[in-house]
Amino acid sequence: MSITTLSDLFQPEPISWGCRGDPYLWQEMSEVLATQPLPPSEAQLAKILEATFERLVGLPTSAEESSVFIERHAHGGMSSGHISLKFWRETALPLLLARYRTAQGDKP
């Protein structure tokens, strides 16, 4: 698959998540970034992803909270609507950056 937009980096989804709201935020970020072309550098991508996360969640991934509740992502279950900052900081964003490097022809 050719990766030309930021939303292309979101396919396929991760195998596991931190909290029940994470897949919904993953989808929302993919939709928000759907038309943006890949930036010229990994550093720029990291800034875009962090800024988008903070705009949608209200906190940066570096926040001390372990999770944050987002009402629009509450769809049932024990941690429904919760977004795991640790998952996004340690798994999701590094995965997206690795996919970017692969798309650029670099080794992950």
Question: Does residue 99 sit in helix, strand or coil?
Answer: helix
Report pTM.
0.90
pLDDT, tens digit (0-9, with 9 covering 90-100), for 64-96 = 999 999 988 887 766 688 999 999 999 999 999
Question: What residues make up the domain containing 60?
Answer: 6-106
In a domain, 43, yes or no: yes
In the predicted model, what is the mean pLDDT of residues 39-44? 96
- 100, 39 Cβ separation under 8 angstroms: no
What is the DSSP code (8-state) at residue 1?
-
In a domain, 1, yes or no: no
pLDDT, tens digit (0-9, with 9 covering 90-100), for 15-29 = 999 999 999 999 999
pLDDT of amino acid 4: 86
In a domain, 53, yes or no: yes
In a domain, 54, yes or no: yes
What domain count does the chain have? 1
Please check the confidence at residue 1 and state whether its pLDDT lies above 70: no
